[in-house]
Amino acid sequence: MRITKSPDFDQLAEERRWLRSFLAPLGDWQPPSQWTARVEQVLACPELRNFLRVVEKHNRNRSKRANPFLLGPHLFRIIHSVEARKATLQMMPALGRSPAELRAHVKAASAKAKSLARLVRRGPQPFVALAAHNDAREVFSTCPTIQSPNEWEAFVPLDRLLAEAAASLDLLAKNISRPSARGSEQSEAAGVLDTTFRKALKKPYHSEVATIVQVLTGKVTDEDYVKKIEKRWGATGRGQNP
C-alpha cells in the first residue's frame, strides 16, 4: 500500500489506515478477526505511545522513502507465523517435543517401519506406484521424499517402500537439532521485532519489544529476555533476514 507522507504525518492514523485496507477482501481469504484485533490491541497499548512517536519522527525524517515504516505488518507476520506453527503442532504434536524426544519418536517410527517390512516380506504384498523423480520435490520439502529414482513412474513392492521410509526417518533423526517448539511464540515475536527494529530503526528498542511481546503473548517479558533472544538469533543467523 503506497502512503504519501507530509509534515503532519500521524503514525497511529497510518497504522490504522493500513489495517483497514488489509481487512479488505484478499481474494477468497480474509484475515481472522481475532488476529487483526490483536494487532489493534498492540497499537493502542498506552506503554507504546512514546515508541510510536519515535517511529513517527523516523518516518517524517525519511521524506524520500515511498512507504513509511509501519508496525502493523510486522505484528501480523508474527501472529500468522505463530498460528501456523500451532496448526502444524496440532497435526504433528511430536514437533512440540524436545530435540531428544523428537529424535526418539522418529527412531521408534523407523524401527516399526523396518519391522513391518520384514513381516510383509514373508507373504504376498501389494506394489506401490511411485511418481516420476522430480528434484523440486526435494527442494521444497522439509522431509525426505520417497519417489521414483528415474524420470518415469516406478512400481515397487511395499516392503521396499517401508525400508526406504525407515532409511529416510533415520536420516531425519540425525538432522534434528532445533530447539523445542515450546515457548516459541514468545521467542519468535521477540526475535522478529528486535531484528526488524535494528534494521529499520537502527536501534533494538529492547524495552518496547518486551512490551509488545507481552501484549501479544500474554507472557511476562522483560528487556533481559529480549537481549537473550537477540544473542540467540545472532548466533544462529536467523536475524539476517527479518
Residues 190 and 167 occupy one common structural domain? no
Which residue is it, cell 490483536? 38
Contact in structure between 114 and 162 (CB atoms under 8 Å): yes
Residues 225 and 105 occupy one common structural domain? no
Residues 168 and 193 occupy one common structural domain? no
Say if 56 falls within a structural domain: yes
pTM over 0.85: no
Residues 18 and 44 occupy one common structural domain? yes
Residues 87 and 185 occupy one common structural domain? yes
Domain final residue pick, 174, 193, 221: 174
Domain final residue pick, 124, 155, 174: 174
Other CB atoms within a 10 A radius of the CB of residue 80 amount to 13
Say if 32 falls within a structural domain: yes
> To 5 degrees, how large is the angle CA 210–CA 212–CA 213?
65
Domain final residue pick, 139, 155, 174: 174
Number of domains the chain is built from: 2
Residues 56 and 170 occupy one common structural domain? no
Say if 118 falls within a structural domain: yes
pLDDT value, residue 29: 63
pLDDT value, residue 23: 66
The C-alpha atoms of residue 35 and residue 29 are separated, in whole angstroms, by 13
Residues 104 and 170 occupy one common structural domain? yes
pLDDT value, residue 98: 80
Residues 72 and 138 occupy one common structural domain? no
Residue (of 123, 122, 120) closest to 160 by Cα position: 120
What distances in angstroms separate CA 94 from CA 42, 108, 109, 144, one per listed residue?
A: 32, 12, 12, 17
Residues 189 and 69 occupy one common structural domain? yes
Residues 224 and 153 occupy one common structural domain? no
Say if 3 falls within a structural domain: no
Say if 2 falls within a structural domain: no
Helix (H) or strand (E) holding 130: strand 127-130
Domain that holds residue 20: 11-91+181-240
Residue ranges, the chain, pLDDT below 70 = 1-7, 23-30, 62-66, 135-143, 177-184, 235-242
pLDDT value, residue 209: 94
The C-alpha atoms of residue 137 and residue 144 are separated, in whole angstroms, by 9
Residues 141 and 83 occupy one common structural domain? no
Question: C-alpha cell of 71?
Answer: 508496525
Concatenated DSSP letters of 152-167: S-EEEEHHHHHHHHHH
pLDDT value, residue 177: 66
First to last CA, the chain: 20
pLDDT value, residue 178: 52
Residues 103 and 170 occupy one common structural domain? yes
pLDDT value, residue 139: 52
The C-alpha atoms of residue 186 and residue 180 are separated, in whole angstroms, by 13
Say if 58 falls within a structural domain: yes
pLDDT value, residue 128: 93
Other CB atoms within a 10 A radius of the CB of residue 217 amount to 19
